[in-house]
Structure 1
Amino acid sequence: MANRTTALTAATVRGAWIVWLVGLATYFVAVFHRSSLAVAGLVATERFDISAAQLATFTMLQLLVYAAMQVPVGLLVDRFGSRAVLLTGTLILTVAQAGFALAESYGAALAARLFVGIGDAMTFICVLRLVNAWFAPRRVPVVTQLTGVIGQLGAIASAVPMTWALSTLGWTWAYGLAASLGLVAALAALIVLHDQPGTRTLRGPALSYSAIRASLASSWQQPGTRLGFWVHFTTQFSQTIFALLWGYPFLVEGEGLSPNAASMLLTLMVLSLIAAGPVMGWFTARHPWQRSTLALTIVGAIAIAWTVVLAWPGRAPLAVLVVLVMVIGLGGPGSVIGFDLGRTSNPPARLASATGIINQAGFVASLTVVVAIGAILDWRSGGGPGADYTPDAFRWAMSFQYVLWALGATQIFRYRRKGRAHALLHGLPRTTLPRERASS
């Protein structure tokens, strides 16, 4: 009997890693599609004859849809299971990216990016739910971080290779080949994924409007959910806006780098993100009371790195830009801390909806910054298609980030006090609190 139990346990562990790898592959594809415009911004302005504000609308629309979909997707996952929602999202992404490849007008391209945002929104929450269903609680923080950071390899695949494909194959073939990745990911998910060990498809109870309101209200009332929301809001947006849209134009037109050098720096940013993720996962698992402190440290480091670059007389040296992108990359795994705060603050039955609430935060912030940067660039450069975006214009535009860092850091300080008080009230031993609490 003992041997049989051991064999079953070993099989479950192997199955967990296989399920995770397939879920991770679908997230990789989603990040690829999400980031595929990052190195195509200048090409898109020529193809569609648009201004910086119109270019920003692509990413603005994508982020707006992504953020708006987070709570509905969380509720869908709680109701229909991760597998069904993940498959649906992957297929939507594939069709949308194919439409973007064929688009010849600005309106058609906008419609395609809208559906890219919808499909993208239906991936990450599903994979996190699979992680929580298949892995032991002690492993969840590290596997969650690995999911977030390894999935960002999709951003690397949309940097140097997409730069090459756009210059060599042209717009339609580059994005058409990118769309084909979704078919492979969908097939693997269809064959391999199970919502939990022994259950291919897990259905939750049907939710009435009043039940949905009660579930979302309960999640939001948890101070840990709100703290997770503001951690995600504050840490993520600088890395997101840099990777999705404005990093490449900033490096090429604002800092005078070659397209290949800019692509390599975007790749380096993702490598920094990947290297930092497992370390942060280990830290959050070992020191749960220090999670908000780690998040604030990351925000401070990003703000300082940007200050050095923006205050540099003239164009910053390459070494300084290397440091900038490596520090910005910390924001990706830093934002995953928010999900761990939500996980430890909510019961499994509403975990996906709480995750959706948290996950929309960083994308609301990113959306705000993307739009503001486009507007400020047009304001400082005269606007219109073909405008010359000077280093001075980029300094003004990128400085808008300080507004959101200040807001987010204030809210993190506010809700970490409330979160710790709530945890102590519900039985967490006071001796687990670090000395940090006395000054928080």
Structure 2
Amino acid sequence: MTVDPATSASSEPAVAPAPARREPPGGRGAWTAWGIGVTVYVLAVIHRTSLGVAGVDAAARFGINASALSTFSILQVLVYAGMQVPVGLLVDRHGPRRILSAGLVLLTAGQLGFALASSFTPALLARGVLGCGDAMTFVSVLRIGSRWFPLFRNPFIAQLTGLVGTIGNLVSTMVLAQVLHSAGWTATFGTTALLGFAVLALVVLVLRETPDSAPREPLLVRRRARVPDAPPPAAGFALRDQIRAAWREPGTRLGMWVHFTTAFPASSFLLLWGMPFLMSGQGLSRAVSGGLLSLVIVAGMGFAVLFGQLMSRRPSWRTPTVFTVVLGTGAVWALVLTWPQPGHVPMWLLVVLAVAMGSNGPASLIGLDYARPVNPPERIGTASGIVNMGGFIAAVLALFLIGLVLDLNTPGGGTDYSASGFRAAFATLYLPMAVGLLQILRLRRRALTREREVIGATVPKARAAR
């Protein structure tokens, strides 16, 4: 094997090859377990994105400006990002069923608190609790997929998880937006909170974490959950050793930066600022604005199917796909932001923008495909958590910058946002985009060299299973 000189000269410590594993069976039981897990994720996405269609209503209800409105999403996403590594560790050590159950309790409490809040501080605390529960869902579903499905199916399962999760976005943009207008704040958010009880019963009573686990296994049994055939943790196992081992893999770091660079434009748009930009900045109605947000989500479904199949069959296309998505999204935003009449961007261009941002979420999941081959099964949750926090860190930065620049360009600090103010605010998207691209360029050769070193220990068995 020819090793890149730049890699061999690196001062990074050597990393042991990832051990081979026996392939899980897949089949009907796998789809049932994954289906229950992804139901939790759909509910989490509904809760996460519900504020995106209620931004104007929230500003009026709590009497706040753009920066304070951004604080809701910033805190929620910051908690989500900060919880990713601890959640990955917890999933690796205690299994996804327990973590999904805890996440549902926190999601329900947070959304119910937000429904009942009448002032800024209680509402802010509720969004923080919601973000903590949300953080426990996606990594848990990925862990279920890795336990039930063969290795070569994992890229497709990750994309399919993201695709089905977008149903939650559709519920927010197409259903909650209308219900909020007719039923009011408390009824809308309170009803979505109560859905958590039904989903919790499904997880507790039906979900099986692995092909070997028994149905309705008690949640409070004290045991160490692990992947079948994975070696037991060594004596004196330390959490920081688990994190260090996952982080030391260049594929984990590259995956995090891929997630960082691709996910945040659509995240910041759907989580908070898309509806105000379209309604206040472009003068569109609530119905038309909701339709464009829905188009982002529907386009994302199509890209998820495309990328899932493509990455499963052509792993070498990962990096070109990532660069295409990032540069394409940046180019379309540049056209929107430099349009001669900032408040009258034509509908065809807004449609193109929505479709371009639809590729962001599926492209971010390609980051997991860099981390998965080089981390052993007992470390997948930790590695996935590291990767998954990247896009949400970038989203926090984008939400903060957009809110800050909007306030600077809005006289009196009110909510009468102008088209020129949005133009300046969304121009800040290029800062995290540039940082992420530089890091991807720095790490990609080292990560791919490392992957070639370990691929023989993981892929042959997967191919034999096929």
TM-score class normalised by the smaller sequence: over 0.9
CA contact (8 A) 1:377 1:383 kept: no
Partner of 2:387: 358
CA contact (8 A) 2:24 2:148 kept: no
1:68 and 2:68 aligned: no
2: distance between equivalents of 1:248 and 1:169? 19
Larger CA deviation: 153-162 vs 362-371: 153-162
| Distance 1:383-1:289 versus aligned 2 partners, 3 A rule | farther
Question: Which amino acid in 2 is paired with 1:248?
Answer: M
2: distance between equivalents of 1:354 and 1:208? 21
Partner of 1:48: 62
Listed one character per residue, the Cα deviations across residues 129-149 of structure 1 (whole Å, up to 9, x for unaligned) are: 000000111211111100011
Task: Give the deviation of 1:222 after TM superposition.
Answer: 0.7
Candidates 6, 30, 33, aligned match of 1:16: 30
Question: Which amino acid in 2 is paired with 1:410?
Answer: L
Candidates 366, 385, 395, aligned match of 1:337: 366
Task: Give the deviation of 1:164 after TM superposition.
Answer: 1.1
Partner of 1:404: 432
1:118 and 2:132 aligned: yes
Q: How does 1:365-404 map to 2 (within 5 A)?
A: 365-384=394-413, 386-404=414-432
CA contact (8 A) 2:24 2:150 kept: no
Q: How does 1:293-312 map to 2 (within 5 A)?
A: 293-312=320-339
Question: Which amino acid in 1 is paired with 2:268?
Answer: I
Specify every segment of 5 or more residues in structure 1 that has no aligned partner in the other structure, as ranges: 1-8, 430-440
Listed one character per residue, the Cα deviations across residues 236-292 of structure 1 (whole Å, up to 9, x for unaligned) are: 000100110001101111111111100111111100001110110111111212212
For this pair of structures, how many residues does the alignment match? Answer: 420
1:274 and 2:301 aligned: yes
Candidates 303, 307, 312, aligned match of 1:285: 312
Q: How does 1:109-258 map to 2 (within 5 A)?
A: 109-200=123-214, 203-204=225-226, 211-258=238-285
Partner of 2:288: 261
Candidates 82, 94, 99, aligned match of 2:96: 82
Listed one character per residue, the Cα deviations across residues 48-87 of structure 1 (whole Å, up to 9, x for unaligned) are: 0000000000000001100000000001101110000001
2: distance between equivalents of 1:12 and 1:420? 28
Task: Give the deviation of 1:181 after TM superposition.
Answer: 1.7
- TM-score, normalization: structure 1? 0.92
Task: Give the deviation of 1:193 after TM superposition.
Answer: 1.0
CA contact (8 A) 1:52 1:383 kept: no
Question: Which amino acid in 1 is paired with 2:430?
Answer: Y
- State percent identity of aligned pairs: 42
Listed one character per residue, the Cα deviations across residues 324-348 of structure 1 (whole Å, up to 9, x for unaligned) are: 0111010000000011211112111
Task: Give the deviation of 1:105 after TM superposition.
Answer: 0.8
Question: Which amino acid in 2 is paired with 1:354?
Answer: A
Specify every segment of 5 or more residues in structure 2 that has no aligned partner in the other structure, as ranges: 1-22, 218-223, 227-231, 458-466
- TM-score, normalization: structure 2? 0.87
After TM superposition, where is structure 1 displaced by more than 3 Å over at least 4 residues in a row?
Answer: 9-12, 204-210, 424-429
1: distance between equivalents of 2:435 and 2:380? 26
Task: Give the deviation of 1:424 after TM superposition.
Answer: 3.6
Partner of 2:355: 326
What RMSD over aligned residues (CA atoms) do the two structures have, in Å?
1.9
Larger CA deviation: 307-316 vs 108-117: 307-316
2: distance between equivalents of 1:10 and 1:424? 23
Partner of 1:5: none
